[in-house]
Amino acid sequence: MARKLAKSTLERFGKRLEEEQERLQQLIEEYERELEVARMTESSSDRSPDPGNAEASSMKLEYAKELSIEQNTLDLLGKVQHALSRVRSGDYGICERCGEAIPIERLDALPYSTLCVTCASKT
Ligand SMILES: [Zn+2]
């Protein structure tokens, strides 16, 4: 039976995860604003087509890049929120797949991990 984390340790990681969640949500809001600007720029350049407009195509590239960054951030946010739900249920620090304890060093490095190194390397 894997040991559960001490309450104080759980609280410490819970706090870190909450801070991370907040930071990621702010980042996503920023991306949303930037994407909104990019969308507006894009539609205005559509109204006045200018072949060979390098600026417009680089805007499109930026836009695509922002979208993928936002997607990564959303993925990360999902992991953080999932880990937070494990903190609340008291299962944080226990591998979801094999039920073994996740080393504290791993949690320190990746507070949102809910799998041990062995199980994570299998996915
Ligand atoms: Zn495992």
User: Based on the number of CB atoms within 10 Å of its own CB, is 107 exposed (0-12), middle (13-18) or buried (19 or more)?
Assistant: buried
- Give residue 50 CA to ligand 1 midpoint distance, Å: 56
Q: What is the pTM of this model?
A: 0.80
pLDDT number for residue 94: 96
Q: Are 119 and 95 in contact (CB under 8 A)?
A: yes
Residue 80's nearest CA partner among 120, 24, 6 is 24
Written as tens digits, the pLDDT of the chain (123 aa) is 567 899 999 999 999 999 999 999 999 999 999 888 888 887 776 555 566 677 777 878 888 888 898 999 999 999 999 999 999 999 999 999 999 999 999 999 999 999 999 999 986
- Cα(81) to ligand 1 centroid in Å equals 20
The residue ranges of every structural domain in the chain are 7-91
CA of 114 relative to ligand 1 center, distance in Å:
9
The predicted pLDDT at position 66 comes to 84
Convert the pLDDT of each residue in 34-66 to its tens digit.
888 888 887 776 555 566 677 777 878 888 888
